[in-house]
Chain A
Amino acid sequence: EVRLVESGGALVQPGGSLRLSCSGSGFTFKMYWMHWVRQAPGKGLEWVSRIYSDGSIRDYADSVKGRYAISRDNAKGFLYLEMKTLRAEDTAVYYCARATGDSTFRAFDIWGQGTVVTVSS
């Protein structure tokens, strides 16, 4: 079964840090672009970051640039999101997602169940 499982969500104080993990299984993890998407309580989906299959290309939403860092370990099948200087507005469910190739329009075909990050004092 193709699967993504996130972990690492927690309650953290403003200004704090957190690292999220996403484990991929049932597919050749190293061949895919991977993304993080978040959803604040009662709000819509917001794309956060992406990383190329070999890790050589990474980019970020303006709202997290300079504070978040995406990375991956293809040998272990893991995707990570290092989050620093957290703010209340970073409170959200964070999803990892797999993107398909150009011929299938780079859609996000597999999603994890999400992990909850709450930034509050």
Chain B
Amino acid sequence: DIQMTQSPSSLSASVGDRVTITCRASQSISDFLNWYQQNPGKAPKLLIFGASNLQSGVPARFSGSKSGADFTLTITGLQPEDFATYYCQQTYNSPRTFGQGTKVEVK
């Protein structure tokens, strides 16, 4: 199985900050890397698919990138509604594994 290592597990930030979350796969997954946002008690919501493609309806302050084996989710200009938990997921093969999650908290 492909292991997804996400970091950090949590971070504290303020409204307006630039936030970066990283995910690394245990083997090559091409660009089959997706990012989700989850608010407490809610279902996950797709933000980014294919490493860098913004899902329809998602604000442009969210972006995704890939550098070597590392995938990055960046939030530029953190908004109050962005305090949530973020997960990466590989869909290169089965099982479709998720990272452990990164909780973005208010500083």
Query: Bound state CA distance, A107 and B33, in angstroms?
Result: 8
Interface residues of B in 80-106 (CB under 8 A from A): 87, 89, 91, 94-101
Known: A44-B87, A44-B100, A45-B101. A107 touches B46 (CB 8 A): yes
Structural contact, B98 and A45, CB atoms closer than 8 A: yes
Q: For B53, what are the chain A residues with a Cβ–Cβ distance below 8 Å?
A: 104-105
Partner of B31, one of A47, A95, A105, A113: A105
Partner of B36, one of A61, A104, A106, A108: A108
Within the complex, the shortest CB–CB distance from A100 to chain B, in Å, comes to 7
Structural contact, B96 and A105, CB atoms closer than 8 A: no
Write the A32-65 contact mask toward B (1 if CB under 8 angstroms, else 0): 0001010000001111001000000001011000
Structural contact, A45 and B87, CB atoms closer than 8 A: yes
Q: Give the number of residues in B that approach A within 8 Å (Cβ atoms).
A: 28
Interface residues of A in 71-121 (CB under 8 A from B): 95, 99-100, 104-109, 111-114
B60 within 8 Å of A (CB atoms): no
Structural contact, A108 and B100, CB atoms closer than 8 A: no
Within the complex, the shortest CB–CB distance from B91 to chain A, in Å, comes to 4
Query: Bound state CA distance, A72 and B91, in angstroms?
Result: 21
Structural contact, B94 and A100, CB atoms closer than 8 A: no
Within the complex, the shortest CB–CB distance from B101 to chain A, in Å, comes to 5
**Interface residues, chain A, with chain B CB atoms under 8 Å away:** 35, 37, 44-47, 50, 59, 61-62, 95, 99-100, 104-109, 111-114
**Interface residues, chain B, with chain A CB atoms under 8 Å away:** 1, 31-34, 36, 38, 42-46, 49-51, 53, 55, 87, 89, 91, 94-101
